[in-house]
Amino acid sequence: MTIWNPWHGCHKISEGCANCYVYRRDESIGKDASIIAKTGGYDLPLKKNRQGQYKLSAEDGVVFTCMTSDFFLEEADQWRQGCWDMIYQRQDLHFYIITKRIHRFSQCVPSDWGSGWDNVTICCTCENQDRAEYRLPIFLSLPIKHREVICEPMLGEINMEKYLAAGLIGHVSCGGESGDKARPCDFRWIQEVRRECIRCGVPFTFRQTGAVFIKDGRTYHLERKLHISQAKKSGYSYIPNMGMADTIKYRLPDREALFARLSRSDFRNRFHLSAKDKAYVAEKGMETIRSHAQDFVEKRLSAENPENDGKQTPMKGHPVFIAQHAAACCCRSCLEKWHNIPAGKVLTEGERSYIVDVLMSWIEKEMQ
């Protein structure tokens, strides 16, 4: 990985900028980060060593561009074309550009941009739902060959599935905020975006916890050195069909506590077996109903990314379907939220048996 900062300094434009790390770092050395200036490393991609070879080579990895500013900053308009020229000349390098100013993209690209350049990835940031709704529609409408999204610092729950479903976003990463004034990041927000990525087959990275991290209702204050390592340790990053979620550690809920929690949910309490459902169970017998439950769980829930996940379980038509909604075993999202079984993994035999047991316990209670 290489960092190329052709200019330095920026001005804040959205809520995610409030505790900007560039401002924090500059302030610590008595520098004003709002002053935008061209740097001595402006022409880094073209610099050569004494042997006449480029100092940057493909072996150095991705070139992260403009990390102490924004590539589409208004004040940098006079310098940007020179950067595009260097990027075009160095087709052997891949340039990664992160921006909060995707709305300026069309007026900042070179005339020969066309449908995008193969050696450029544009990464749009969105720290909350408001910025996602503003930036992502613009992002998807632009001629870009490689698109990624970063939700960092993540400041609230973000639903972006409708944008991921377009099939144009190649990767999503999420993370909390660092620094003394860091705002909290809730693990539930991370999990929701991850589930959306799984359903759309998009790779996902949980990059860092941030300094203030909420998990299972508890707030943790973490040292900077732990932010990335703890996120990695969680196992919640995801690449389709790689079995990465198999390493996630979790604990199945206590059965009694689970049913007590379900009983407090207005939505789950809407579901009960009708007289017709009960008659069907009595006619077929519990062992036959169990075999039906096993079949439904195997075919509709057990895959890493079940087809039509979230809508695969009918609301009526079979006692097991009713039980699945009542016991929150209807989709992989509910299995994670209520039963702690991580999304994005193929269900083991033990997990399938657990789900069937929960469903049969609920049906048995209804039959009484």
Is there a contact between 66 and 34 (Cβ–Cβ < 8 Å)? Answer: no
Say whether pTM exceeds 0.85: yes
What confidence tens digit (pLDDT) does each residue in 6-17 have?
999 999 999 999
Q: What span, in angstroms and rounded, lies between the C-alpha atoms of 325 and 214?
A: 28
User: Is the pLDDT reported for residue 1 higher than 90?
Assistant: no
What confidence tens digit (pLDDT) does each residue in 129-157 have?
999 999 999 999 999 999 999 999 999 99
Q: According to the model, what pLDDT value does residue 26 have?
A: 92
Summary mean pLDDT of the chain: 97
Name 327's Cβ contacts closer than 8 Å, sequence gap at least 6: 262, 268, 358, 359, 361, 362
What confidence tens digit (pLDDT) does each residue in 241-279 have?
999 999 999 999 999 999 999 999 999 999 999 999 999
pLDDT band at 318; cut points 50, 70, 90: very high
Q: According to the model, what pLDDT value does residue 18 have?
A: 95
- Which ranges constitute the DSSP H helices of 90-226? 129-141, 161-164, 187-200
Q: What span, in angstroms and rounded, lies between the C-alpha atoms of 187 and 317?
A: 36
What confidence tens digit (pLDDT) does each residue in 201-233 have?
999 999 999 999 999 999 999 999 999 999 999
- Which ranges constitute the DSSP H helices of the chain? 21-28, 77-89, 129-141, 161-164, 187-200, 227-234, 255-263, 275-284, 286-300, 319-326, 332-339, 349-367
pLDDT band at 55; cut points 50, 70, 90: very high
Q: According to the model, what pLDDT value does residue 277 have?
A: 97
Is there a contact between 286 and 365 (Cβ–Cβ < 8 Å)? Answer: no
Classify residue 17 by its DSSP letter: G
- Name the helix (H) or strand (E) containing 204: strand 204-208
What confidence tens digit (pLDDT) does each residue in 56-73 have?
999 999 999 999 999 999
Q: According to the model, what pLDDT value does residue 309 have?
A: 94
Q: According to the model, what pLDDT value does residue 16 have?
A: 96
User: Is the pLDDT reported for residue 94 higher than 90?
Assistant: yes
What confidence tens digit (pLDDT) does each residue in 164-186 have?
999 999 999 999 999 999 999 99
